[in-house]
Amino acid sequence: MEEIKNDLLQIYERWAGHQGVEIKPLKAHGSDRRYFRIFGKDRTAIGVYNPDIKENIAFLTFSKQFAEHGLNVPQIYDQELDKNIYLEEDLGDETLFSYLSRVREKKGFTPNIVEYYEKTINQLPRFQVEAGQNIDYSVCYPRSSFDRQSMHWDLNYFKYYFLKLAKVPFDEQHLEDDFKKFIDFLLEADRHFFLYRDFQSRNIMLRNGEPFFIDYQGGRKGALQYDLASLLYDAKADIPQDIRIRLLDHYLDRLKGYRSFNREQFLEYFYGYVLIRIMQALGAYGFRGFYERKEHFLKSVPYAIQNLEWILHNVKLPVELPVLTDAWSRLVRSTFLRQLGNVKLRLNVRIQSFSYKRGIPWDEKGHGGGFVFDCRLLPNPGRYDQYQDVTGNDQPVIEFLRKENEVDNFLNDIKNIAAHAIRNYKERNFSDLMIAFGCTGGQHRSVYCANQLGQFLKDTYDVDVQVRHRELEMK
C-alpha cells in the first residue's frame, strides 16, 4: 500500500509542480480498484491503482475519446501503466445516489431529483450514439460487445451466485434452455451502440449542477435499452414507477434527435434488458453478499426483488420462459429475500371502489391477496331521488352515511383488519396491499367507504395510500 501511495504522489508532483501534502484512501464499492484523494497546496486530484492493465487501457482510452466529444468525464492528468496507476480529475464526493438519498429522506422524490435524472438522460444518447460511432472497440474488456457469451456469463452469475446461494430450486437443464431462448430474443435488438455497462446513480457525479460520468471501463458495443434499464431500475435508487415511465418517455424523446427508431419495438426489448440487468445485479449482490459475506450488498436485494415483481406482473415478454419465470416468481414470493439487510420498503396501499355489476377489480400487481369488502349490506342512499346525481364524494351522501351506526361499525371492523394487514406486510417487507369496496352501482357507499379508509390510513400509518373510484372514472 505504501509503495502505491508513493508512486501516486510522484505523478501528482509531476503534474502539479509541487509535492502532495496529504493522500487519503477512498471507498471503492464492489471493485478491486483503489482510489485516493491527493491534496496539494491549492488543488486536489484522484489517484487510482488498478492491477488489471486491460481495464486501465479501456478506461483511459474511452476517457480521451469521450472528452473529444465534449462529454462530462474526468480529465486524465497523468498515467504510468507499467505501475498500474493514473491520475484523474477530482469531481468531488456527491453522486446522484448520495444526493437523492439525502433529499428523499426529508422531502421525498422531489422535482430537483427528477431534473438531475433528466439531465443525466440527456447525455446518454451522446455516449451511445454520438460518441459510440467513433469508439475504439478493440480496447473493450473483457468482451468487445454485449454478445451471447456476455449474456450467458451474466445469467450464470445469477444462477450460481444468487439462485443457488438463496436456495431457490430449479431444473438446471430446463433453466439453461430458457437462458438460450431469452438470449436469442435479446440478440434480436439492434446492438451497434456504445453500452456503458454500469450506467447507474453511483457512477454519476454531481458538480455545479451538472452530471459527470465515471466507471465506464466495462463499456462495449450493445443495445440502447441496457443502459437505460440500468439507470431506471437501479435497485437502491428505488425510483417511483410513475417517475420511471416519465423518464423513459424523456429518453425516447431525446433519442429522436440522434436516430430514427420504432418506439413499440424499442419497448418490446426494453423490459427484456431490464430483466437481464436485474439478474446481473442480483448475481453481484449474491456474490458480494452471500459468498464474500459483505452484508451491505444484501441491502440492495429487497429493492431488486421489488423491481422484479413489478416487471413480472405488468410486462408480457414476446417469448415463453416457463422455468425462468418460475424462478422469478419464487424470488418475488420469498419473505427471506425481502427482509435481507434490515431494509424497510415503502408499503403502498391501493384502495378503490367499484360496482359489482362490472365485476370485482383485477389486481394488476398479481399478489392474489388483499381484501374485497361488500358495501351492499349498508343503507343505500341511491334508493332516494335526491341522491341520484351525487356520489360518495359529495357532502349530502357523506352526511347521509355518517348518521348510520351500521356504517361506522362496518368501517371500524375494516380499519382493524387493515391495521393488522399493514403491520404484517411491513414486517415481511411486502410493498403492495389492495383493498376494494364494492356496491351496486359503485357510486355512493363504496366511494364513501374507500375515502374514509384512505384518510384513516394516511392519518395513522407511515404508508403510501392511493384511492381511486373505478366507476366514477368511467363517466
pLDDT at 224: 98
Grid cell digits, residue 413 = 371492523
Closest residue by Cα to residue 77 from 42, 128, 43, 27: 43
The single-letter DSSP state of residue 291 is: I
Q: Can you tell me the distance from the alpha carbon of 353 to that of 435, in angstroms, rounded to the nearest whole number?
A: 9
Grid cell digits, residue 92 = 468531488
- Tell me the torsion sign for CA atoms 174, 180, 186, 189: negative
pLDDT digits (tens, 9 = 90+) for 124-144: 999 999 999 999 999 999 999
- Residue ranges of the chain assigned to CATH 3.90.1200.10: 96-342
Q: Can you tell me the distance from the alpha carbon of 338 to that of 356, in angstroms, rounded to the nearest whole number?
A: 35
DSSP letters, 114-147, are: HHHHHHHHHHHHIIIIIGGGS--GGG-SS-SBS-
User: pTM of the predicted model, to two decimals?
Assistant: 0.84
Q: Can you tell me the distance from the alpha carbon of 275 to that of 310, in angstroms, rounded to the nearest whole number?
A: 11
Grid cell digits, residue 217 = 471501463
Count Cα atoms within 13 angstroms, Cβ side, for 47: 30
pLDDT at 429: 87
Query: Topology of domain 2-88, per CATH?
Result: Phosphorylase Kinase; domain 1 (3.30.200)
pLDDT digits (tens, 9 = 90+) for 58-78: 999 999 999 999 999 999 999
pLDDT digits (tens, 9 = 90+) for 300-330: 999 999 999 999 988 999 999 999 999 999 9
Closest residue by Cα to residue 337 from 313, 358, 316, 307: 307
Q: Can you tell me the distance from the alpha carbon of 159 to that of 130, in angstroms, rounded to the nearest whole number?
A: 35
Query: Topology of domain 96-342, per CATH?
Result: Aminoglycoside 3'-phosphotransferase; Chain: A, domain 2 (3.90.1200)
Q: Count other C-beta atoms under 10 Å from residue 357's C-beta.
A: 11
- Residue ranges of the chain assigned to CATH 3.30.200: 2-88
pLDDT band at 52 (very low <50, low <70, confident <90, very high): very high
pLDDT band at 376 (very low <50, low <70, confident <90, very high): very high
pLDDT digits (tens, 9 = 90+) for 155-186: 999 999 999 999 999 999 999 999 999 999 99
